[in-house]
Amino acid sequence: MADPTRARPLYALDVVDELCVGDLALVLTVSDDAASYGLRVLRAAGLATRRKEGRIVYYRLAEGFPEPLRQHCLRQLIDMSCASVDDEC
């Protein structure tokens, strides 16, 4: 989770119920490929699930996502953000 490509989608999915790749890319201001990669890594780790509706695939945090792990990952994201703005946090 030290990679923002994985941590930022986790945060986005924590804030809303579910997102498709295109919406996630818009929210995170990244390419569709980068958003898709972050979601793929989260799915491979068992931290996110997907459902397909027609041609659109929606992602959400996996049921039973361990709360301590979620809190740790979100804290890491905050720490990474602080480090990137010269320790203003």
CATH number for the domain harbouring residue 75? 1.10.10.10
Round to whole Å and give the CA distance between 58 and 50. Answer: 5
Residue with more model confidence, 3 or 63? 63
Quick check: is 16 in a domain? yes
* pTM of the shown model: 0.72
Domain extent at residue 40: 4-84
Q: How many domains does the chain have?
A: 1
Instruction: Report strand pairing: 19-20 vs 48-53.
Output: unpaired
CA nearest 59: which of 11, 4, 17?
Answer: 17
For residue 65, count other CB atoms closer than 10 A to its CB. Answer: 18
Query: Measured between alpha carbons, how far is residue 54 from residues 13, 18, 57 in Å?
Result: 21, 16, 8
Tokens (6 digits) for 43: 């799915």
pLDDT in tens, 8-58: 888 888 889 899 999 999 998 999 998 998 888 888 888 889 999 999 999
89 domain residue, yes or no: no
